[in-house]
């Protein structure tokens, strides 16, 4: 699988679906604090084919390097630009969750590459968020499973024990160590784009779980209200709404990409 480099940092990514000669039809997925690319499996399966999909591990997680932190959103934006340069993608649809949504916002503010933004469980300000309930040490299966209570609703956890078991296995293989997780979380805590959202005129769909216990739904509403072309959609479920409500999320993503 390919890697790109931002200075000394090696960044893993993988693509699937349509060929490179479909400009603007690549969907880029940017993940949340600490999680590997496993979190996009529900969208990858639904969107690959009609679109080329590109999934990358943010620095600190998965198969990308984890240099000493703290990190900043600017670091992640530069990383994404390096990946897109390496792949040759000039215009893309960007789907970001949590931290990845913050990175998507800054990428759209600084670059003309994004044709559209889909922001899942994202906030314009990170200082008042308590992210620690989402962390589970990759070498501690019990912690990985128990920390899913902050990311997924109790209804989902009880109804899908097989999915929970698979997620724990994927997290053990791909999630960030405690040090790298803290470096990513520091990037979230430093974000405040409230006064710059007016600069982002990219079509933006804000999708948020109504029962999100860590990134409260009020943050998503405020984000959509302050984006010039923002639309808010609340869905029943917790923080990882792309997993809990994958069909509804994928339908919304199709609509956004086709209209952008």
Strand segments, DSSP code E, in the chain are 3-6, 9-16, 26-30, 52-56, 92-97, 114-120, 204-209, 230-235
Q: Answer yes or no: is pLDDT of 139 > 80.
A: yes
- The pLDDT score that the predictor gives to residue 64 is 98
Structure-token pair, residue 68: 């000493």
Could you tell me how many residues make up the chain? 260
Task: Kindly give, in sequence order, each residue whose CB lies less than 8 Å from that of residue 73, ignoring residues fewer than 6 positions away.
Answer: 99, 102, 103, 106, 187, 190, 191
What does pTM read for this prediction? 0.96
Mean pLDDT of 173-202: 98
Strand segments, DSSP code E, in 68-216 are 92-97, 114-120, 204-209
- The pLDDT score that the predictor gives to residue 25 is 85
Structure-token pair, residue 106: 């800054």
Output DSSP code: residue 61.
S
Q: Answer yes or no: is pLDDT of 61 > 70.
A: yes
Q: How many CB atoms lie within 10 A of CB 112?
A: 9
- The pLDDT score that the predictor gives to residue 137 is 97
pLDDT digits (tens, 9 = 90+) for 30-39: 999 999 999 9
Q: Which domains does the chain have, with CATH numbers?
A: 3-259 (3.40.50.1820)
pLDDT digits (tens, 9 = 90+) for 96-126: 999 999 999 999 999 999 999 999 999 999 9
More confident residue, 64 or 260: 64
pLDDT digits (tens, 9 = 90+) for 39-53: 999 998 899 988 999
Q: Answer yes or no: is pLDDT of 203 > 90.
A: yes
Query: Which band of pLDDT confidence, cut at 50, 70 and 90, is reported for residue 17?
Result: confident
pLDDT digits (tens, 9 = 90+) for 66-89: 999 999 999 999 999 999 999 999
Q: Answer yes or no: is pLDDT of 22 > 60.
A: no
Mean pLDDT of 173-179: 98
pLDDT digits (tens, 9 = 90+) for 217-259: 999 999 999 999 999 999 999 999 999 999 999 999 999 999 9
Q: Is the backbone of residue 182 left (phi > 0), alpha (psi -120 to 50) or beta?
A: alpha
Q: Answer yes or no: is pLDDT of 23 > 80.
A: no
Q: Answer yes or no: is pLDDT of 21 > 70.
A: no
Q: How many helices (H) and strands (E) does the chain have?
A: 10, 8
Q: Which of 14-23, 150-159, 201-210 has the lowest mean pLDDT?
A: 14-23
């Amino acid at each position: 699988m390919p890697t790109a480099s931002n200075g000394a940092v090696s960044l893993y990514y993988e693509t699937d679906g349509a060929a490179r000669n479909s400009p603007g039809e690549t969907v880029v997925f940017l993940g949340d604090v600490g999680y590997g690319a496993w979190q996009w499996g529900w969208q990858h399966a639904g969107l690959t084919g009609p679109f080329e999909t590109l999934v990358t591990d943010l620095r600190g997680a998965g198969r990308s390097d984890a240099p000493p932190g703290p990190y900043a959103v600017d670091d992640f934006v530069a990383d994404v630009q390096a990946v897109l340069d390496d792949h040759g993608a000039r215009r893309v649809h960007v789907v970001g969750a949590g931290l990845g949504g913050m990175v998507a916002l800054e990428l759209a503010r600084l670059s003309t590459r994004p044709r559209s933004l889909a922001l899942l469980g994202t906030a314009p300000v990170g200082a008042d968020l308590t992210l620690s309930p989402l962390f589970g040490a990759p070498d501690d299966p019990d912690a990985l499973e128990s920390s899913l209570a902050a990311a997924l609703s109790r209804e989902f956890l009880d109804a899908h024990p097989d999915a929970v078991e698979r997620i724990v296995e994927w997290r053990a293989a791909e999630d960030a160590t405690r040090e790298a997780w803290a470096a990513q979380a520091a990037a979230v805590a430093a974000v405040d784009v409230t006064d710059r959202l007016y600069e982002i005129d990219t079509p933006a769909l804000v999708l948020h779980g109504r029962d999100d216990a860590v990134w409260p739904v009020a943050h998503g509403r405020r984000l959509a209200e302050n984006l010039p072309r923002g639309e808010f959609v609340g869905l029943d479920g917790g923080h990882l709404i792309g997993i809990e409500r994958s069909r509804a999320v994928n339908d919304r993503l199709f609509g956004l990409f086709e209209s952008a």
